[in-house]
Structure 1
Amino acid sequence: MSVSFIRRIASPKKALTAAAVAAATAGMALSAAPAQAAPASASSAQAIAKKMIPDAAQFNAFSKIVSHESGWNPTATNSSSGAYGLVQALPASKMASAGADWKTNPATQIKWGLDYMNSRYGSPVKAWSFWQANGWY
């Protein structure tokens, strides 16, 4: 057998082996990475709020505010003011008082929003009345 023939056979094997090692390494790296949660949908954020706000009138008022402010998008960001999240907190970092996952967890944002509406206005219904009169809350 000639050396050139052996090289032609060996080269594809080396390439295949290198590709297999690279794929295995990439696979190991991908499997070692933490899974990222999918962003919450508007309907799942609404379902969370409905569980957290059992009173229908309070939920409806909260829902109207959130619909106007963020369209139930937990990552909604106002480009001019920096307000963020379902309830458009400003500064956004205020929501950290409700939980470290405030940037991504609708339940944390809802909890903070409810606390804010209750402490500032007395209830989501009263916050909605203010919003209707002023276009903000």
Structure 2
Amino acid sequence: MRTSAAILAGAAGLTALGAGLMPATASAAALSPKAIAAQIVPANQLASFSQIISHESSWNVKATNPSSGAYGLAQALPGSKMASAGSDWRTNPRTQIKWALNYMNTRYGSPNAAWVFWQNHHWY
């Protein structure tokens, strides 16, 4: 028989999950790159961020351009510049998303502005 505390803890976990929060027992690795982006990218910028990443890498963390060597979700060139966001840049979508958001904010002002540029030039 479950104790009241266990039942309440389970309910709290479900409430957190329903609110879009990750329960303490869930693995961060289990989240998709899109779900991670939804946690990091401001809601009013997420659609544009998603469009760019979809076009650049199809949300493949290990996507590599055979011609240029651009790498990762955002197709950083060289990919190693994502190390500024974390040493696990080769495989961690969270690190790549943080780097990409910073890049878009620094270079274009926002993902929305980066998407406008991308639509006009088919690169960013």
Indicate whether the TM-score tops 0.5: yes
Match of 1:49 in 2: 37
TM-score, with length taken from structure 1: 0.68
| Separation of aligned partners in 1, 2:35 and 2:48 | 15
| Separation of aligned partners in 2, 1:100 and 1:111 | 13
Aligned residues: 96
Gaps of 5+ in 2: 1-28
Amino acid at match of 1:77: T
> Rg larger in 1 or in 2?
1
* Paired-residue identity, %: 66
| Separation of aligned partners in 2, 1:90 and 1:104 | 16
State the Cα deviation string for residues 77-136 of structure 1 (Å, max 9, x = none): 000000000000001100000000000000000000000000000000000000000000
Amino acid at match of 1:61: S
Match of 1:93 in 2: 80
Q: 1:46 is paired with a residue of what secondary structure?
A: helix
| Separation of aligned partners in 1, 2:115 and 2:42 | 17
Match of 1:67 in 2: 54
Q: 1:81 is paired with a residue of what secondary structure?
A: coil
TM-score, with length taken from structure 2: 0.75
Over aligned residues, Cα RMSD in angstroms? Answer: 1.4
Stretches of 4+ aligned residues off by more than 2 angstroms: none
How far apart are 1:54 and its partner, in Å?
3.4
Amino acid at match of 1:133: N
Q: Which has the higher helix share?
A: 1
| Separation of aligned partners in 1, 2:94 and 2:47 | 17
Match of 2:105 in 1: 118
- Note if 1:102 corresponds to 2:92: no
| Separation of aligned partners in 2, 1:46 and 1:79 | 24
Match of 1:33 in 2: none
Q: 1:122 to 1:54 in 2, by over 3 A?
A: closer
- Note if 1:84 corresponds to 2:71: yes
